[in-house]
Amino acid sequence: MAVLLIAELNGAELATDATAKALTAAKAIGPVTVLVAGQGVDAAAAAAATLDGVEKVLKADDAAYAHGLAEPLADLVVSLAGGFSHVVAPSTASAKNALPRIAALLDVMVLSDVTGVVDADTFERPIYAGNAIQTVKSSDKVKVLTVRTAAFGATAAGGAAPVEAIAATGDKGASVWVADEVVKSDRPELTSAKIVVSGGRGVGSEENFALIEGLADKLGAAVGASRAAVDSGYAPNDRQVGQTGKVVAPNLYVAVGISGAIQHLAGMKDSKVIVAINKDEEAPIFQVADFGLVADLFDAVPELTSKL
Amino acid sequence: MKVLVPVKRVIDYNVKVRVKADGTGVDLANVKMSMNPFDEIAVEEAIRLKEKGVATEVVVVSIGVKQAQETLRTALAMGADRAILVVAADDVHTDIEPLAVAKILAKVAEAEQPGLILSGKQAIDNDMNATGQMLAALLGWPQATFASKVEIEGEKAKVTREVDGGHQVIEVKLPAIVTADLRLNEPRYASLPNIMKAKKKPLEEKTAADYGVDVTPRLTVVKTAEPKGRSAGIKVGSVDELIAKLKDVGAI
Please state at what angle helix A70-80 crosses helix B131-139, rounded to 10 degrees. 80
Q: Which domain holds residue B12?
A: 2-251
Please state at what angle helix B131-139 crosses helix B98-112, rounded to 10 degrees. 50
Looking at the fold, whether A136 and A29 belong to one and the same domain comes out as yes
Taking CB atoms and an 8 Å cutoff, what residues of chain B touch A195? Answer: 252
CB A97 to CB B143 under 8 A?
Answer: yes
Q: What is the pLDDT of residues A61-78, one digit of tens each?
A: 999 999 999 999 999 999
Taking all residues of chain A, what is their mean pLDDT, rounded to a whole number?
97
Query: Which pLDDT belongs to residue A206?
Result: 97
Taking CB atoms and an 8 Å cutoff, what residues of chain A touch B134? Answer: 100-101, 103-104, 110
Query: Which pLDDT belongs to residue A176?
Result: 96
Q: How confident is the model at residue A31 (pLDDT cuts 50, 70, 90)?
A: very high
Nearest to A136 by CA among A154, A153, A122: A122
Q: What is the pLDDT of residues B179-212, one digit of tens each?
A: 999 999 999 999 999 999 999 999 999 999 999 9
Q: How confident is the model at residue A6 (pLDDT cuts 50, 70, 90)?
A: very high
Please state, in angstroms and rounded to a whole number, the distance separating the CA atoms of residues B10 and A30: 36
- A29 within a domain of the structure (yes/no): yes
Looking at the fold, whether A135 and A94 belong to one and the same domain comes out as yes
Of A131, A165, A199, the residue at which a domain comes to its end is: A165
How wide is the angle at C-alpha A103 spanned by C-alphas A97 and A107, nearest 5°? 145
Query: Which pLDDT belongs to residue B231?
Result: 82
Q: Model's pTM, two decimal places?
A: 0.97
Q: CB of B172 within 8 A of CB of B160? A: no
**Which CATH number fits the domain that encloses residue B22?**
3.40.50.620
Smallest CA–CA distance from A232 into chain B, residue? B183
Query: Which pLDDT belongs to residue A117?
Result: 98
Looking at the fold, whether A7 and A150 belong to one and the same domain comes out as yes
Query: Which pLDDT belongs to residue B106?
Result: 98
Smallest CA–CA distance from A247 into chain B, residue? B164
Looking at the fold, whether A197 and A141 belong to one and the same domain comes out as no
Of A114, A130, A165, the residue at which a domain comes to its end is: A165
Q: What is the pLDDT of residues A204-253, one digit of tens each?
A: 999 999 999 999 999 999 999 999 999 999 999 999 999 999 999 999 99
A243 is in an annotated binding site: yes
Of A165, A180, A214, the residue at which a domain comes to its end is: A165
Regions of chain B with pLDDT less than 50: none
Q: Decide if A79 touches B, using CB distance below 8 A.
A: no
- A146 within a domain of the structure (yes/no): yes
Q: What is the pLDDT of residues A78-109, one digit of tens each?
A: 999 999 999 999 999 999 999 999 999 999 99
Taking all residues of chain B, what is their mean pLDDT, rounded to a whole number?
97
Query: Which pLDDT belongs to residue A184?
Result: 84
- A123 within a domain of the structure (yes/no): yes
Q: How many domains does chain B have?
A: 1
Smallest CA–CA distance from B141 into chain A, residue? A174
Q: How many domains does chain A have?
A: 2
**Which CATH number fits the domain that encloses residue A12?**
3.40.50.620
Q: What region does B79 belong to: left with phi over 0, alpha with psi -120 to 50, or beta?
A: left
Taking CB atoms and an 8 Å cutoff, what residues of chain B touch A273? Answer: 246, 249, 251
- A288 within a domain of the structure (yes/no): yes
Looking at the fold, whether A95 and A137 belong to one and the same domain comes out as yes
A173-190: average pLDDT: 93
Q: Which domain holds residue A220?
A: 190-307
Query: What does the DSSP assignment read for A20-77?
Result: HHHHHHHHTTS-EEEEEEESS-HHHHHHHHTBTTEEEEEEEE-GGGTT--HHHHHHHH
Q: Decide if A84 touches B, using CB distance below 8 A.
A: no
Looking at the fold, whether A156 and A39 belong to one and the same domain comes out as yes
Q: Which amino acid is at A270?
A: D
Smallest CA–CA distance from A306 into chain B, residue? B239
Query: Which pLDDT belongs to residue B232?
Result: 80
Q: What is the pLDDT of residues B204-243, one digit of tens each?
A: 999 999 999 999 999 999 999 999 888 889 999 999 999 9
- A180 within a domain of the structure (yes/no): no
**Shortest Cα–Cα distance, A184 to chain B (Å):** 8
- CA B229 → CA B69, B157, B164, B221, distances in Å? 36, 45, 29, 22
Looking at the fold, whether A50 and A160 belong to one and the same domain comes out as yes
Nearest to B38 by CA among B127, B102, B108: B127
CB A96 to CB B168 under 8 A?
Answer: no
**Which CATH number fits the domain that encloses residue A229?**
3.40.50.1220
